[in-house]
């Protein structure tokens, strides 16, 4: 499988400390890659670099074979969408306006089209927040705001989705709903990268696991392979156990 996104020998330092070192992996269309690791492993830093928000100290990110920096910003935004780990909660916009911002890379200057408005409605209905469209973002709960931000990413109709802990603030049903949406995006050919701390969501919905430890890729395996051995769980905690549900799915429990 050819990679839509290639992360090649990425390194990044802060305060004299190596946060990322020689991180390399690719993501192809149709894949959902769950980026996992303990706090401070460099997950969010990596996603920020791939999104173009930070410049790596070493290495490069390539999109469709071209260095990320070589892309025109507008064209890059048509292909890559990014949900950061946190967004200011006091944004002075209506929820529908926030989602419409996801269409800016596709608009004719500042004028939205019927297609843009239809894309906004479709995305907000998919994330179950259409009824919030006329609410100020600052009046929304954390979960409602997260659904609006996820809708903005979907409205962007990008081929690469970068999502940093997208299930933050979502209740259990909404978490399951969102990861099912991610599977739909992958089915249409999108390359999906999502940071998560929920190992069971990753095992259920992702196709690959990439685990960062000490700033490096400590594990890069398919979910099927991860389900066959529990050795990788020690990268997170000695208290984790890999079991199997009644339906035969892998499941991480703890003691």
Q: Give all strands (DSSP E) within 29-178, no chain letters.
A: 32-36, 58-63, 66-67, 80-83, 160-164
pLDDT digits (tens, 9 = 90+) for 200-211: 999 999 999 999
Return the CATH number at 27. 3.40.50.300
Dmax of the chain from CA atoms?
56
Range(s) of the domain holding residue 191:
3-254
Distance CA 207, CA 62 (A): 21
- Number of domains present in the structure of the chain: 1
Q: What are phi and psi of 141, to 5 degrees?
A: -70, 170
pLDDT digits (tens, 9 = 90+) for 176-227: 999 999 999 999 999 999 999 999 999 999 999 999 999 999 999 999 999 9
Q: pLDDT tens track of the chain, all 255 residues?
A: 457 999 999 999 998 899 999 999 999 999 999 999 999 999 999 999 999 999 999 999 999 999 999 999 999 999 999 999 888 878 899 999 999 999 999 887 667 888 999 999 999 999 999 999 999 999 999 999 999 999 999 999 999 999 999 999 999 999 999 999 999 999 999 999 999 999 999 999 999 999 999 999 999 999 999 999 999 999 999 999 999 998 889 999 998
Give this prediction's pTM. Answer: 0.95
Q: Which residues contact 178 (CB under 8 A, 6 or more apart)?
A: 127, 150, 166, 167, 170
Task: Return the pLDDT at 212.
Answer: 98
């Amino acid at each position: 499988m050819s990679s839509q996104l290639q992360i090649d020998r990425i390194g990044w330092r802060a305060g004299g400390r190596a946060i990322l070192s020689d991180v390399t992996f690719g993501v192809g269309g149709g894949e959902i890659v769950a980026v996992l690791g303990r706090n401070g492993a460099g997950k969010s830093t990596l996603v920020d670099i791939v999104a173009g928000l930070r410049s790596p100290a070493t290495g490069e990110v390539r999109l469709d074979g071209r260095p990320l920096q070589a892309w025109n910003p507008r064209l890059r935004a048509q292909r890559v969408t990014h949900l950061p780990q946190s967004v200011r909660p006091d944004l002075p916009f209506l929820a529908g306006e926030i989602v419409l911002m996801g269409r800016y890379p596709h608009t004719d200057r500042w004028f939205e089209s019927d297609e843009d408005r239809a894309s906004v409605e479709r995305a907000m209905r998919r994330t179950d927040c259409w009824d919030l469209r006329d609410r100020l973002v600052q009046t929304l709960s954390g979960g409602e705001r997260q659904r609006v931000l996820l809708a903005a990413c979907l409205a962007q109709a990008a081929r690469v989705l970068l999502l940093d802990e997208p299930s933050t603030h979502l209740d259990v049903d909404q978490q399951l709903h969102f990861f099912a949406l991610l599977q739909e995006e992958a089915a249409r050919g999108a390359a999906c990268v999502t940071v998560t701390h929920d190992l069971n969501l990753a095992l259920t919905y992702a196709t690959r696991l990439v685990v960062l430890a000490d700033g490096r890729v400590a594990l890069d395996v398919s979910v099927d392979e991860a389900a066959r051995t529990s050795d990788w769980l020690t990268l997170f905690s000695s208290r984790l156990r890999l079991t199997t549900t009644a339906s035969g799915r892998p499941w991480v429990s703890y003691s």
